[in-house]
Amino acid sequence: MNTKGDEEIMVTIRVVNSRDNRVILSGRSYTFSQKRNTLIKDMFEVFVKNFPEDVQHEIRRYRIWTANDVQLQDDNKIEDAFSDKDDSYLDVEDKFENIFNAILF
């Protein structure tokens, strides 16, 4: 049984690609704290707020993927990307499961 859902962890979202590097810089990473049981759509909103308002419409076109190239849906939770939801934060970090990619197709 997962008892760690309310634990705060650090997550990183890396911008993989960009239509225009002057607007959204590919390769840049954004790190912030979230609970393990946070929905991907809520984590994505925190990510979007890192950008100026006039760029947010473009960043909303991105989708979130795991480091293992699995696309996450809005109703997934951050912990759904973990191979074991009961892993300690250090284990999650060692497996790079707290790193996500923002990809524009």
3-state secondary structure at position 25: coil
- Residue 5: predicted pLDDT: 86
Tell me the average pLDDT of the chain: 95
pTM: 0.93
Q: What is the dihedral of CA 59, 63, 65, 69, to 10 degrees?
A: -120
Count of Cβ atoms closer than 10 Å to residue 7 Cβ? 13
* Structure confidence by residue, pLDDT tens digits, 55-98: 999 999 999 999 999 999 999 999 999 999 999 999 999 999 99
Q: Contact at 8 Å (CB) between 44 and 11?
A: no
**Where do the domains of the chain lie?**
8-103
- CATH topology (fold) of 8-103: Ubiquitin-like (UB roll) (3.10.20)
For residue 9, give the H/E element and its range: strand 8-15
